[in-house]
Chains A and B, each alone.
Chain A
Amino acid sequence: MDQVKIREYKKETNPFRLFADHLNAVATGLKYFVKPQRITLRYPEESLTLPTGYRGMIRLYKDVCIGCTLCALICPADAMKMVTEGGKKYPTINYGRCIFCGFCVDVCPVDALKETRVHDAVFTNRREMIFWPDKFNQDFDQPIPYQGVVKKVRAVVDEKKGIKYVPDE
């Protein structure tokens, strides 16, 4: 029977090398302490511009919709329901149930549903989470205002810092 060879990292046994490693660690820490390289996104003040195709909140194009009910049929969370408005069927969405799977957008034969790039909508009660066709018809691509202006930023891969945020547009 072959012995399975286990490879281990060699443990450092030279105490002077160990001490030097400790000094190195502390020096690295001090370097970061003196020259901070923060990658925190200060969210309410600055918000990230998300890529196109991000699966955020869904919006409806009411004039395109043909009322085929496919979206309501495919919805795995029963978030989408059909309502009749003036003799025509439109989908409504309940964001309390929606799991953002995007099936409704995929299944729509006329592309009447679209995924927006907004994911940070806030509701104050559960009734507000149900979007009736008129509200569902509005565009979502607005920054949520917080104490004035929200700075839109974009994440860029940086050689030194790892991630850097640059102002978008």
Chain B
Amino acid sequence: MSALYALRYYFFYPSFFVVIIFPGLIFTTIVLLLTIWFERKAAALVQMRYGPLYVSKRVGGALQLVADAIRLVFSEIIIPVEVNPTLFVLAPALVFTFTFVPMILIPYSAIPQSGSILSPYFHIFYDPNIHKGLFIGYFVPYNIILIMGLSAITPVFILLQAWATNNRFAIVGAVRESLLAVSYDVLIVMSLAAVAIEYHTLDIAKITETGIPGIIANPLAALVFFIGMLMATGRFPFEIVEAESEVVVGPSTEYSGLLFVLAMGGSYVTTFALSFVFSDVFLGGWLPLNGLPGALWNSIKAIIVLWFTVFLRAVYGRYRIDQALRGSWKYLLPVAFASLVLGLVVGQLWIR
């Protein structure tokens, strides 16, 4: 009996459960596959087509994602002759790892002192800011800074990946990525700084537990963060780095098989992680609930955000790199400054 209890204890231990199972690797992989299916289906609906259908007609081609996954994972990994094989294999793995690491630091739900299946971990993952436990892989009181810092590392590894593949399309894609990274990081940092000033904290959990969703308290920051998120993860209309018709999926041109899954999945995982941040900060996160149902509710919100970002593929074309830069520096940077001012004012007047 006690062995069973110990097994349950270690199974639901947040550092394992969060990272590997629920909002972590396994759940993210399933969501990633569903997202790719949804992306194709949504684009097809808007463009008056059917999209994937014949794989399983009864469920609207939903099994297409399984077929895609099998095909992608089991296709041959081709390593070009004139590359450094170690770096060539390592680069996409590093990209995927560092896109995934922020997911460990995002609070997914609060743990009440008793009554929940997660209550045994109340004291281990105790957050002194909100006087509750947190359902989180690793608790840091200043998790906004750490998440932003870790997600800002990713472009470096994308550059490394492009350089390692020794391909001109990849280099062009990497140059585009480096140009874009300068603009989207500023937007994401400024919008989150505005929210942090507004709620007088650098802890995402405290922002959520305040009870006022950020989208009401600071809609400008929500807008800027959302567009920064689109840019950071290469979703339309900012799919400039991967531009399939111009630079042949940019930095991952030379990759095939599992390495391509890692290289391409990276941007989806970043989108999912930033969707969780968006859901926590701007949409109230887990709020009416807590414990495991709260995490489920939070991930439903995050999936809606994620699916909205991929839905935009159907609506927009692709901006040129200069248009994207002009848009971010000329139009969105003033909005970001305005959101900072709004955050200062509202933080002094309303949110204590």
Contact = CB atoms under 8 A, between A and B. Distances in A.
A129 B311 CA distance: 46
Interface residues of A, number: 15
Interface string A28-58: 1110110011111010000000000000000
B48 interface: yes
A39 B45 CA distance: 10
B312 A36 contact: no
B256 to A, nearest CB: 31
Given A25-B315, A26-B312, A26-B315, A32 B50 contact: no
What class of interface size applies to chain B in its complex with A?
Answer: 10 to 19
A40 B49 contact: yes
A18 interface: yes
A8 B42 CA distance: 34
Nearest to A162: B48
Contacts of B66: none
B331 A15 contact: yes
A137 B293 CA distance: 72
Interface in B29-52: 42, 45-46, 48-50
A15 B311 CA distance: 24
B228 to A, nearest CB: 15
A30 to B, nearest CB: 8
Nearest to B316: A25
B45 A32 contact: yes
Contacts of B315: 25-26, 28-29
B310 to A, nearest CB: 12
Interface string A79-120: 000000000000000000000000000000000000000000
Given A28-B315, A33-B311, A33-B314, A38 B48 contact: yes
Contacts of A36: 45, 48
A147 B48 CA distance: 26
Contacts of A30: 311
B195 to A, nearest CB: 21
A38 B46 contact: no
A15 B315 CA distance: 20
B331 A18 contact: yes
B112 to A, nearest CB: 37
Contacts of B331: 15, 18
A33 B42 contact: yes
B46 A33 contact: yes
Contacts of A25: 315-316
B211 to A, nearest CB: 28
Contacts of B48: 32, 36-40
B167 to A, nearest CB: 34
Nearest to A26: B315
Interface string A5-28: 000000000010010000001101
A33 B50 contact: no
A38 B314 CA distance: 14
A24 to B, nearest CB: 10
A19 B48 CA distance: 26
A25 B315 CA distance: 7
A38 B42 contact: no
A166 B45 CA distance: 20
A38 B311 contact: no
Nearest to B50: A40
Interface string B318-341: 000000000000010000000000
16 contacts: A18-B331, A25-B315, A26-B315, A28-B315, A29-B312, A33-B42, A33-B46, A33-B311, A33-B314, A36-B45, A36-B48, A37-B48, A38-B48, A38-B50, A39-B48, A40-B50
Interface of A: 15, 18, 25-26, 28-30, 32-33, 36-40, 42
Interface of B: 42, 45-46, 48-50, 311-312, 314-316, 331
Shortest 7 CB-CB contacts between residues of A and residues of B: A29-B315, A32-B46, A36-B45, A39-B48, A40-B50, A29-B46, A33-B45
Given A29-B315, A36-B45, A40-B49, 10 more contacts: A25-B315, A26-B312, A26-B315, A29-B46, A29-B314, A32-B45, A32-B48, A32-B314, A33-B42, A37-B48
